């Protein structure tokens, strides 16, 4: 493989780069729903992890990832490719330190975690999750399963905002997770504290979106109207928090 091609494998798009940045260094990683296999291949090529497992239910995705692994020098057999329904092909003996599940809906990611066989995640120190939709549902599932949200970030990629969540299983966490309120579920407890620039931009986009929804509210069914009002209320709450904090910092 040409040097340029290899370098392209280690220069990931913003969404995948943020996922890779949250992976624990020096420990094996498993990427569920790996699709193209770029994250595990990149992590091994960079030396961030010693080995990786790329898993996907799709036979086409598995075939494509195997082809990528076979034609990429420098991997030295350190990336395994497995066809797997969720975590079915992951064993405790794999000794995985980080589990990555990305590019799926939040409810689907939550279902994958709920379906994990006893002991399958015994070695796990961190999960890195990137839901395309349904981040609130995923956060609720993590909380219900006893996971602690350790870090979060928003990646802007291809004109879309992606919330990336790093969480610890209760066994790896120092304390049980605090309860999450509606604003935490919608926009992230860590993001609400840190307020990174991409998150603020996402909030502005959300405000504009729900303003448009409110203008059409007479044509919406009542559940949609209630949801629009709920999200608008949470956004107003967050804005007031930010204004209050700004005022405190100048007092």
Domains in the chain, ordered, with CATH?
Answer: 3-177 (3.40.50.150), 199-249 (no CATH)
Of the ranges 7-21, 90-104, 138-152, which one carries the lowest mean pLDDT score?
7-21
Indicate if the pLDDT at residue 139 is higher than 70.
Answer: yes
Indicate if the pLDDT at residue 87 is higher than 60.
Answer: yes
With cut-offs at 50, 70 and 90, classify the pLDDT of residue 216.
Answer: low
Kindly report the three-state secondary structure assignment for every residue of 110-163: HHHHHCCCCCCCCCCCEEEEEECCCHHHHHHHHHHCCCEEEEEEEEEECCEEEE
Indicate if the pLDDT at residue 224 is higher than 70.
Answer: no
The whole-model pTM stands at 0.87
Mean per-residue pLDDT over the chain, rounded: 89
With cut-offs at 50, 70 and 90, classify the pLDDT of residue 7.
Answer: low
Side by side, which strands form the sheet with 126-131?
79-83, 52-56, 29-32, 98-104, 126-131, 160-168, 148-157
pLDDT digits (tens, 9 = 90+) for 12-57: 999 999 999 999 999 999 999 999 999 999 999 999 999 999 999 9
With cut-offs at 50, 70 and 90, classify the pLDDT of residue 3.
Answer: very low
CA nearest to 188, candidates 206, 171, 208, 169: 206
């Amino acid at each position: 493989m040409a040097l340029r091609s290899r370098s392209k494998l280690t220069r990931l798009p913003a969404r995948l780069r943020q996922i890779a940045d949250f992976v624990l260094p020096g420990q094996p990683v498993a990427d569920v729903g790996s699709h193209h296999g770029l994250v595990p291949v990149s992590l091994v090529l960079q030396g961030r992890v010693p080995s990786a497992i790329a898993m996907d239910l799709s036979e086409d995705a598995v075939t494509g990832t195997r082809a990528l692994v076979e034609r990429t020098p420098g991997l030295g057999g350190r990336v395994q490719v497995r066809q797997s329904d969720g975590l079915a092909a992951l064993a405790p003996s794999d000794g995985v330190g980080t589990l990555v599940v990305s590019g799926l809906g939040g409810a689907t990611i939550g279902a994958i975690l709920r379906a994990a066989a006893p002991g399958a995640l015994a070695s796990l120190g961190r999960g890195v999750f990137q839901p395309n939709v349904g981040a609130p549902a995923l956060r609720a599932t993590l909380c219900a399963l006893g996971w602690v949200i350790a870090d979060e970030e928003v990646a802007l990629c291809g004109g879309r905002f992606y919330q990336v969540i790093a969480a610890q299983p209760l066994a790896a966490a120092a304390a049980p997770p605090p309860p999450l309120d509606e604003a935490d579920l919608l926009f992230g407890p860590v993001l609400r504290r840190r307020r990174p620039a991409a998150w603020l931009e996402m909030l502005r986009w959300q405000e504009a979106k729900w303003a448009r929804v409110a203008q059409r509210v007479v044509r919406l069914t009542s559940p949609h109207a209630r949801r629009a009002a709920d999200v608008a209320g949470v956004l107003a709450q967050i804005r007031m928090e930010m204004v209050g904090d700004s005022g405190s910092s100048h007092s």
